[in-house]
Amino acid sequence: MNKEAAVYRRKKLLKYLLIHAVIITVVVVCVYPLLRILSISIRPGDRVISTDLSLIPSGADFAAYLRLLKDTMFLRWLWNSLIITVVTSFIGVSLASTAAYAFSRFKFPGKKSGMILLLSTQMIPAGMLILPLFLMIMKLGLMNTYLGMIIAYSVSSLPFSIWILKGYYDTIPRSLEEAALVDGTSQIGAFYRIILPLSTPALSIAFLFNFTTAWNEYLVARVVLFSAKQYTWTLGLFELQGQYITQWGMFAAGSMLVTVPVLMVFLYSSKWLLSGLTLGSVKG
């Protein structure tokens, strides 16, 4: 009896260790490239290109960061990205918030087909619309400007935002608005004073989704922006990396500066984003 229990316990321990070993291996594969960027970014200038694998190189310093901030337009690129992204997200969320309210609270002809239309826009390959958007922006004379970029980005996350917000509005009980209506507010007043404040979490998630999509975008920026001064950070980093051998350290430094805040925001919001992604399907 005792022996059997010991065997059982040993088996269990073995399984436990095995699981940890496998997961830790995968974790290393997932995290290692990020650590490598970090270690390359703090390598001293004369040893950026080396076959050294140690994570903290000897003689580590922050020279690459300083050079990046001083010799390149990295801050300017971040600023460009920030302006484009904030305005895009602001427009996207404001349009989505009212449209989602209509879908959530009203019955009207075309409601179902409107929702299906929103879903089907997701089937259009994103890469497919770059060419016509590029030509439109060119014809409007907005090449190499913030406005061109904002126009190109502003509706790309709209269908998804409408879906998340509608799902969230649906969970707010109607009785709240009805009470306000009895007290004499208009429907719009009820929306602004009750629904919007209550859905701050969903609004911020929609904002974050819009924000990350535009913040990480590369392909449209590549064709619309052509002077280094107007670059977003994605284009800037690509340029640095393109000149591979010489500026690898600066590329790594820039990557770290961009990645760390994005990672933090993502980890904070990932649960929400995911529930938004799967909400419709699980309910269906």
Partner 1 sequence: MDILYSIYEVLWFVLIVAAGIAAIEGYFYYHFKLHDRKWFMAVSAVFFPLAAVLLCRYVGLVQGAGSGELWAWFFITQVIINLFFKHIIKGRFSLPYMLLAPAFVGLALLLVYPFVFQIYLSFHDLKLTTIMAWKNTGHLPFVGIQQYINVFTTSPLSEVSFWALLLRTVWWTFINVFFHVTGGFALALLLNNNIRFKGIYRTLLVIPWAMPQVVAVLAMRGEFHSQYGFVNIMLGKLAVAFPALAAMGFGPVQWLSDHPLATCTLINIWLGIPFMMVVILGGLQSISSSYYDAADIDGASYFQKLRYITVPLIRPVLMPAVTLGTVWTFNNINVIYLVTGQSGGTERADILVSALYKAAFTYNRYSYSAAFAIVIFAILFFISVFYLKTFDAAKDER
Closest approach of partner 1 to the CB of residue 79, in Å: 7
DSSP helix/strand/coil, 54: coil
Q: What b/e string do you get for 101-136 counting C-beta neighbours within 10 Å, with b at 16 or more?
A: bebbbeeeeeeeeebeebeeeeeeeeeeebeebbee
Listed in sequence order, the residues at least 6 apart from 63 whose beta carbon sits closer than 8 Å to its beta carbon are 44, 45, 249
Closest approach of partner 1 to the CB of residue 16, in Å: 7
In angstroms and rounded to an integer, the radius of gyration of the C-alpha atoms of the chain is 25
Q: Is 147 an interacting residue with respect to partner 1 (CB under 8 A)?
A: yes
Q: Report which of 129, 118, 101, 123 is spatially closest to residue 159, judged by C-alpha positions.
A: 118
* C-alpha to C-alpha distance for 269 and 216, rounded to whole angstroms: 16
Residues 236-255 that bind partner 1 (CB under 8 A): 237-238, 241-242, 244, 248, 251-252, 255
Comparing CB distances to partner 1, the nearer of 2 and 172 is 172
Comparing CB distances to partner 1, the nearer of 33 and 197 is 33
Q: Determine which residue in the list 42, 68, 158, 164 makes contact with partner 1, applying CB under 8 A.
A: 158
Q: Is 259 an interacting residue with respect to partner 1 (CB under 8 A)?
A: yes
Closest approach of partner 1 to the CB of residue 6, in Å: 21
Among 1-9, 23-31, 177-185, 194-202, which window interacts with partner 1 (CB under 8 A)?
Answer: 23-31
Q: Is 23 an interacting residue with respect to partner 1 (CB under 8 A)?
A: yes
Closest approach of partner 1 to the CB of residue 62, in Å: 19
Q: Determine which residue in the list 30, 70, 112, 173 makes contact with partner 1, applying CB under 8 A.
A: 30
Comparing CB distances to partner 1, the nearer of 2 and 214 is 214
Q: How many CA atoms lie within 13 A of 32 on its CB side?
A: 8
Q: Is 36 an interacting residue with respect to partner 1 (CB under 8 A)?
A: yes
Cβ burial of 200 (10 Å; 0-12, 13-18, 19+) is exposed
